[in-house]
Every structure is written in C-alpha cells, then in structure tokens.
Amino acid sequence: MFGKILIANRGEIALRVICACKELGIRTVAVYSEADRDSLHVRFADEAVCIGPARSSESYLNVAAIISAAEITGAEAIHPGYGFLAENPKFAEVCETCKLTFIGPKPDVIRLMGDKNLARKRMAELGLPVLPGTEILASEEEALEAAARIGYPVMVKAAAGGGGKGMRIVNSADELPKLFRMAQKEAEAAFGSSDVYLEKYVASPRHIEFQVMGDHHGKVVHLGERECTIQRRHQKLLEESPSTQMDDKLRQEVGGKVVRALMEVGYTNAGTVEFLMDENRNLYFLEMNTRIQVEHPVTEMVTGLDLVKMQIQVAAGQPLEITGETVPLRGHAIECRICAEDPVTFAPSAGKISGFHVPGGTGVRVDTAAYAESIIPPYYDSLIAKLVVHGKDRAEAVQRMARALEMFIVEGISTSIPLQEKVLADADFRAGRFDTQFLKRFSRNGAGG
C-alpha cells in the first residue's frame, strides 16, 4: 500500500479522498490555489503545497506544479478526483514517467474512452448498442449530408470533454450550419479541440449510467446503475439508485455487456458507462467517464462499498474482493447536488457563507468542504455540497431527502435547494414519471420560481 498520496483537486472531492486515505493509514498531500488557502482540504491533509494563483489554468491544471509538489513531498501516487486533470491522458503519462502512480485507468484507455467518437465505435464493436451517428465531421456540408441520412432531430456533439459543452440539438437543415459552428467554437474553447460529430437525438430519454471498477488482474465488475435524468443544461442536479426503469433481468443483461466490453479494452480502476434509454426501455451507449463520478456516494449507499478506498487499493495492485460480475443493491439512495447558484436562472452565486447547518439523522450523508464564514470563490465549479440519503425503498428515500433539504441551511449566497425541494414535492417525480426535459417543463410551469 502507498505511504503517501497527493490529491490533485480541491473542495469536497479532495476532502473525500483524504477521508479514505486516513482510514487506510495513508498520509496525504493537499495542493491548493491562493483562493483556497483556508479550505478544509488544506486543513485536514497532513501536508499542503500552494501551486499557484486562483485561476485553475495556473494552479489545478498546472501539471508541472502538481508534479513538483508530489516530488518535494515524497508522494508515491496522485489521486485526481473528478474534473481538472482526472481524464487527461497526458497527465497520466507524465505521472508514469515520473514514477508516480496515477490512481485511474491507463493513459491509452483514458485516451480511447475520452474521445466520444472513438469510444462509440469501439463499444459498438464490442456489443454495446449505440445510436446512429457519424465520425468526426470536417465541414457543414458533411454534417448536412449526414443529418439527412440519419434523420432529424440530431445532436451535434464535441468529441472531447463533457459537462454539456459543445452540444447542440438540431431540428432542421436550416438550423444546422449555425449550430454546427457554435458547437465547434464552444468545444474549442472548453477542450482545446473543435472536433464534433452527429448523433441521432432522442427527444425524451432517461439518462442511466453503470458504475464499474476494474483491477490489474483482469477482473471488471459493475456495481449497478444510477438514474441521472434530472438535469439542467445537460448537467445533473439529482441522481438516484436503482433506477425505477430497470429490473434485475435488464440490469444483468446490460451490466454483463458492459463488463465484457471493458475487460476487452483492459479497463482498470473506477469508471462510469453512460446510456440513454428511450421510451421502450432500449439502452444506447452514450459515453464513458474514466474517473470517479460526483454521484459515486449514491452507489456507495446501496452497495455498502467505499469506492474511493477501492480505487486506491486497485491502484496499489490489490485484487477486487467481489465474487462474480456485480453485488446486490440494498434499498434506495438519492443525491442532490447543492450548488451555489440562483435556483431560477442558475447564475453562479459566489461569496461568503454567513450561516451553515447540515442535516443529520438516520440514512443522511453530506459530503462538503463548506463551512460558516467560508468563501465560495468565483473561479471554480458551483458545487458546494452533496446531500445523500438512503431508505428501505424509493418512497422512504424521497421523503427523507425532502426533510433533509428542509433542514439544510446555507445563508449568504443563493443555492439550488429551493428548486430541489420543489422537484422532490412534484407528483410526477414521486411517481417516477420524468425524462431529461423534466426540469425545463418544471421551470416553464413556474415551479422553479
């Protein structure tokens, strides 16, 4: 096992990794920007190194500074968390070159699965269903020809990255040239690559993802699915497990295909395979995230496993101690992403938290690095906490989340809590009747106000 791990991230995920390391008896090194000098991950790590100014490009994305911090502190491994450098194959390669263990998949696998177009092609070859689509498109003319062949509506999608950037829904040929250029421009700005492709657009899908874990001894397992359908601007607001649309037969069928496909590509460590589900419960491969997900606590609550500890153990060469392809799911879990933003406009709400109280009680978990008098800086993602609940069934989990949201106090800034409270109270949500357009209709009806 490692003696010391550097965490190349910030906020609640850095604190989450520190917790796992402490329980494994591993010393930790935090890195921080000047804006995060007073953050909890800095306080609770065994050592901390400032790696630059507030801008992420000069700190959390500064590979040289992070590697230097690892070398001067004697760290043996780097945990990238999610975001920033977590899915950067070049960073993983630099870690290997510097004799540091990157806690994640191998660089070539990150490169393959991080390119959505290549990943779609490879997963189709390995038996996963994919939506009709194209290779990388060189021009608007190619896009128009392909869209006519696929049939409208289509989605223009960035080949690199995620988070809803570089994506545009196109309903007709008249719209396509302008939206194609917009997607290219946004993809270039966000990911440094303007490569885009087309994919058939499913108008009212569910978003289902499978959690996977692979070791260095050839074993891959899936740990059930998460429902991530409640989204705004292609970004998740609420997640749950299991999905109301899945049963044991479908879970075993799709999960088995996922496991066999990832064994073929030599997948190791944590990852998530994402699918779109149509109204007939057909699942289509969407993309893969080669890292731990924001919503991993949902899976932890229904499996009883510590996924971050498993990541570290796998990276240290230990085999997975799971018999078969999966584990039983127990009860139901829901996560709300508490974000520092206006609940109506979703505009970021940076500033000082003047009052902070997290809910507790049976089946309630809060992952956060926020506290009263802490500053939410304007430079990073707006996530400030993850509120997770577990119940014996979905009805109990929904009710538990509703009361936990009511007892969650954040003063001094705006948060997403009022919107999430209304989602939890909605009759269609409680009945499991929703798709990815749910929040748009919800806001249009005045429920987001």
pLDDT of residue 449: 35
pLDDT of residue 230: 96
pLDDT of residue 447: 45
**Confidence label for 190 from pLDDT (cuts 50, 70 and 90):** confident
Q: Catalytic annotation on 291?
A: yes
What residue type is assigned to position 159 of the chain?
A: A
pLDDT of residue 446: 47
Gap between the Cα atoms of 410 and 358, Å rounded: 8
Burial class (CB in 10 A: 0-12, 13-18, 19+), 34: middle
CA dist 120 → 117, 125, 224, 254 (Å): 5, 9, 21, 16
What residue type is assigned to position 415 of the chain?
A: T
Domain boundaries for CATH 3.30.470.20 within the chain? 206-444
Q: How many CB atoms lie within 10 A of CB 433?
A: 11
Cis omega (within 30 of 0) for bond into 242? yes
Domain boundaries for CATH 3.30.1490.20 within the chain? 132-200
Domain boundaries for CATH 3.40.50.20 within the chain? 4-103
Gap between the Cα atoms of 137 and 116, Å rounded: 13
Instruction: Give the fold, CATH level 3, of 132-200.
Output: Dna Ligase; domain 1 (3.30.1490)
Gap between the Cα atoms of 152 and 276, Å rounded: 17
The whole model's pTM is what? 0.91
**Rounded mean pLDDT, 260-279:** 97
> Please, which residues have CB within 8 angstroms of residue 195's CB and are 6 or more apart in sequence?
117, 136, 158, 159, 160, 187
The answer to whether the beta carbons of residues 308 and 16 sit under 8 Å apart is yes
Average pLDDT taken over every residue of the chain: 95
Asked if the 206-444 domain carries CATH number 3.30.470.20, the reply is: yes
- What architecture is domain 4-103? 3-Layer(aba) Sandwich (3.40)
Structure tokens at 446: 């005045």
pLDDT of residue 352: 97
CA dist 324 → 121, 222, 255, 294, 379 (Å): 27, 10, 12, 26, 44
User: Residues 291, 337, 365, 394: which is the catalytic one?
Assistant: 291
